[in-house]
Structure 1
Amino acid sequence: MSDFILEARQLGKSFGGFRAVNNVNLNVERGTIHALIGPNGAGKTTVFNLLTKFLTPSSGQILFNGEDITDLNPVEIANRGVVRSFQISAVFPHLTALENVRLALQKRLGVSYHFWRSKSLLSELDDEAIERLDQVGLKRFAHLRAVELPYGRKRALEIATTLGLEPELMLLDEPTQGMGTEDVGQVAELIRNVSVGRTIVMVEHNLGVVADLADTITVLNRGEILAEGPYDVVSKDPAVMEAYMGIKADEVEA
């Protein structure tokens, strides 16, 4: 099996006459955390939506575990082990943390999203749901409604529901968006913990989080890859400093 769990080959996306993504080649190494960064309008969200099949590519291929998934829909790739979380917390606010995770586990009983199923059938999944909550530090909040959780813990709950789907590859969209410093640290540590034994691709604006977590960083600008590598390499790239950070190389030297 290839060392690359996810590959994009000459990936492109056009909206009318506008080329938002142009010939992007991406190789995500198995068992790593891979970050997509870039300035506003760089195309990182479009690339992310293409990889998760929330947008259909205009050109190119997407491979997961060496198999072409370009023509599959989001549900089909989720069933293969590619699961996405969203920039805005996507949990059911008036269900408890336990009930949210249990819904993610229901597909094992073949009754996903059947809200009328017997409570006794669903309770069979409680032990595993509690285990998933424990993984993200929410065990003691199991019976609290999601709407009552602080924002950072809502994001942790979302990751717990994602874990309930047993992803081989997790795709995280701006996991620390809108968080205070304390929540950012907690969620970053959570991402590090849940990355064990799986691969994570994330779009992230917080460079501190990226520097701390990412094994590989792909920098996008104007729909194309500008640089790629570990943080200590890409952060010193003159083109990255100018395009992403607004710093010109001669300004650094001065």
Structure 2
Amino acid sequence: MSSEFVLETRNLVKEFKGFTAVDDVNLKIQKGHIHALIGPNGAGKTTVFNLLTKFLIPTRGQILFKGEDITAMKSAAIARKGIIRSFQISAVFPHMTALENVRVALQRFEGNSFHFWTSEKTLNRLNDRAYQLLESVGLEAFADTVTVELSYGRKRALELATTLAMEPELVLLDEPTQGMGHEDVDRVVELIRQAAVGRTVLMVEHNLSVVSKLCDRITVLTRGAILTEGDYANVSQNPKVREAYMGSESAAVEGAH
């Protein structure tokens, strides 16, 4: 395998009691790219994500990270290797402040991850880095705000800060703009662009305008299989893609072009 590919799947298959949710998927995610997985509802996008992060075990096929076969690895081991997933639902502690959330993520490097009752002295050492991360996502003014009081878009920004605290090599973003208004979408697009510097990003995203602005390469799934792959200009003009999306989503393909 060429080292230019951070992540590769080979003939990936996932079956559920006779139903094939992921059908012979071969992905090649190039280092430094923002790569999107798109497709209509039920296309298998989230199932692929669950296979990559070991929330599901493949029925057949291989997953390679930087040339190493990680198919049999558990999700915690995958995370330690530098593959970090950000969920559809904001995955932050609602009753901690923004700063406290980022500090918990930074504890990974103290060798005491998930020891939530670590001394205040130890945690204070992490403050400088935590403030830097909050600043990087535009949340420096909200460091002491309890997370539950943040707007939805700012919660997603905080989630991105906690993801970056893990110093990932590959970031998996599961519908990062879902449920957002235009203003929040624009903010998150800019955050993803910043977060992608020096990293590789694989994202599932329904908003094709976001995909058109951000992504170097796009893989289109339908019925669990790859329909086509390419840059946005080529994918958006593909008649099979328009047919797969149909109706309003087909219009979204045109509108985002």
Please give the secondary structure, in 2, of the residue aligned with 1:177: coil
Aligned match of 1:69 = 70
Please give the secondary structure, in 1, of the residue aligned with 2:27: strand
Aligned match of 1:82 = 83
TM-score, reference length from structure 1:
0.96
Instruction: State the shift of 1:245 in Å.
Output: 3.4
Please give the secondary structure, in 2, of the residue aligned with 1:120: helix
1:1-254 equivalence runs, <5 A: 2-246=3-247
Structure 2 counterpart of 1:241, which letter? Answer: R
Instruction: State the shift of 1:134 in Å.
Output: 0.8
Distance 2:245 2:134 in 1: 36
Instruction: State the shift of 1:113 in Å.
Output: 1.5
Distance 2:83 2:134 in 1: 20
Distance 2:117 2:194 in 1: 35
Residue-by-residue CA offset, 1:144-201 (whole Å, 9 max, x unaligned): 1110110000000000000000000000000000000110000011101110000000
Please give the secondary structure, in 2, of the residue aligned with 1:201: strand
Q: Which of 102-111 and 91-100 deviates more? A: 102-111
Please give the secondary structure, in 1, of the residue aligned with 2:26: strand
Q: Which of 109-118 and 40-49 deviates more? A: 109-118
Instruction: State the shift of 1:214 in Å.
Output: 0.5
Distance 1:216 1:117 in 2: 42
Report the identity percentage: 65
Distance 1:191 1:100 in 2: 19
Distance 1:75 1:185 in 2: 32
Distance 2:48 2:107 in 1: 30
Unpaired runs of 5+ residues, structure 1, are 249-254
Structure 2 counterpart of 1:168, which letter? Answer: E
Superposed structure 1 runs of 4+ greater than 4 Å apart: none
TM-score, reference length from structure 2:
0.95
Distance 1:232 1:185 in 2: 21
Please give the secondary structure, in 2, of the residue aligned with 1:225: strand
Aligned match of 1:251 = none
Distance 1:245 1:2 in 2: 37
Distance 1:3 1:244 in 2: 31
Structure 2 counterpart of 1:68, which letter? Answer: D
Residue-by-residue CA offset, 1:81-130 (whole Å, 9 max, x unaligned): 00000000000000000000000011211111212221011110000011
Distance 1:126 1:2 in 2: 36
Distance 2:213 2:118 in 1: 43
Distance 1:101 1:88 in 2: 17
Please give the secondary structure, in 1, of the residue aligned with 2:131: helix
